[in-house]
Amino acid sequence: MFTGVLVENGNDNNDYRATLRELDEQQLPDGDVTVRVSHSGMNYKDALAITGSGKIVRSFPMVPGIDLAGEVEQSDNPGYQVGDKVVLNGWGVGEKHWGGLAQKARVNGDWLVPLPDNFTPAQAMSIGTAGYTAMLCVLALERHGVTPEQGEIAVTGASGGVGSVAVTLLAKLGYTVVAITGRPEENRYLEDLGASEILDRAEFSEAGKPLQKARWAGAVDVAGSHTLANVLAGTRYRGVVTACGLAAGMDLPASVAPFILRGVTLAGIDSVMCPREDRLEAWRRLGEDLDPAKLDMITAEIGLDEAVPTAQKLLDGNVRGRVVVDVNRF
């Protein structure tokens, strides 16, 4: 037996609930690697899954948690041996395959990557999908030739998980980072992470001109909707905007003006089905470019019994940075 968060939905499809439960190992889904989970995390998608606020869970019952870190307990996969330290991000885990908010997980070994030597399992979950996505955004900016000398980089949702890591990484790499947030009480926090300027997200949350004063050499956007449209409208000639979230909405009420008049690139970032080679590169670079000391600044740790009540706080925007879940603490 082991303990986990279980999301269930009654026969009338009206009895949606997430509770802490004792689970039997025989309930675990198919997979060739069983992981003894040490830590998981709380992402926006996990909060949607736990509260039922979004159609994240594809089948019931479901253990949520799109991230996990731990140790291989049993393996029929030639790539992993018992005792190997591993990390998993995405691949539909926590949506259509039981995820990381439990003390055990059984998964496809091809979804795993080795835990980098310079991170503990807790630190890896402090990074989690949010930090790994932020690194994918940074890599996309680099691939498109955006350098620190070219100008400012805007980061929306800057006090959240993706934003906090993005600000930290970009500042460490020498970029001038402008943080956009709706939480002025976090201004000092963002400055400590490396932001050179902080703007109120209210300046970006309403419809704006299709083409605005050119300011950004690049951007990391987690919001979508009017925020992304306004960031695009203010991006400089041949600037690059990476889009990885929809916290403000799935729509994009923009025009083609930034693309055809300034040659702006909009680069979509998907972390869920990202190929293994890109995942390995992202985690390698995180090991090089993310200061582990900064992880303490952006992280709060909770026990598994706190995961369900924390979900609504995250959706309400009342959570700073990253939340790590110690699945063996209650």
Burial of residue 40 (CB within 10 Å: 0-12, 13-18, 19+) is: buried
% residues pLDDT > 70 (the chain): 99
Tokens 């996969």 sit at which residue? 77
Q: Is the pLDDT of residue 191 over 70?
A: yes
User: In this predicted structure, what is the pLDDT of residue 317?
Assistant: 83
Same topology for domains 2-115+293-326 and 129-268, yes or no? no
pLDDT the model gives residue 300:
93
Instruction: Supply the pLDDT for residue 293.
Output: 84
CA gap 12, 183 in Å, rounded? 39
* Residue pLDDT, tens place only, 206-226: 999 999 999 999 999 999 999
pLDDT digits (tens, 9 = 90+) for 104-156: 999 999 999 999 988 999 999 999 999 999 999 999 999 999 999 999 999 99
Domain 2-115+293-326 has CATH 3.90.180.10: yes
Asked if the model's pLDDT at residue 238 lies above 90, the reply is: yes
pLDDT at 254: 96
Q: What is the pLDDT of residue 13?
A: 59
Domain boundaries, the chain: 2-115+293-326, 129-268
Alpha helices, DSSP H only, in the chain? 44-51, 121-143, 161-172, 187-193, 225-233, 257-261, 276-289, 292-298, 307-315
pLDDT at 196 over 80: yes
Categorize the per-residue pLDDT at 54 as very low, low, confident or very high, splitting at 50, 70 and 90.
confident
User: What is the predicted pLDDT for the residue at 321?
Assistant: 87
Quickly state the pLDDT bin for 11 (edges 50, 70, 90). Answer: low
Is pLDDT at 239 greater than 70 in this prediction? yes
What mean pLDDT comes out for the span 179-189? 95
- Express each pLDDT in 77-109 by its tens digit: 999 999 999 999 999 999 999 999 999 999 999
Number of Cα atoms under 13 Å in the Cβ half of residue 50: 29
What's the rounded mean pLDDT across residues 187-213?
96
pLDDT band at 228 (very low <50, low <70, confident <90, very high): very high
pLDDT tens for each residue of 296-311: 888 999 999 999 999 9
- What is the distance between the alpha carbons of residues 224 and 231, in angstroms, rounded to a whole number? 10
Whole-structure pTM value: 0.90
Class of domain 129-268: alpha beta
pLDDT tens-digit series, residues 267-304: 999 999 999 999 999 999 999 999 888 888 889 999 99
DSSP secondary structure, 216-270, as one string: EEEEEES--HHHHHHHHHTEEEEEEEEE---TT-S-----SHHHHHS--EEEE--
Confidence of residue 326 (pLDDT cuts 50, 70, 90): very high
Decide if 252 contacts 300 (C-beta within 8 A): no
Helical pair 161-172 and 121-143, crossing angle rounded to 10 deg: 60
Per-residue pLDDT tens digits for 163-180: 999 999 999 999 999 999
For range 314-323, the mean pLDDT: 88
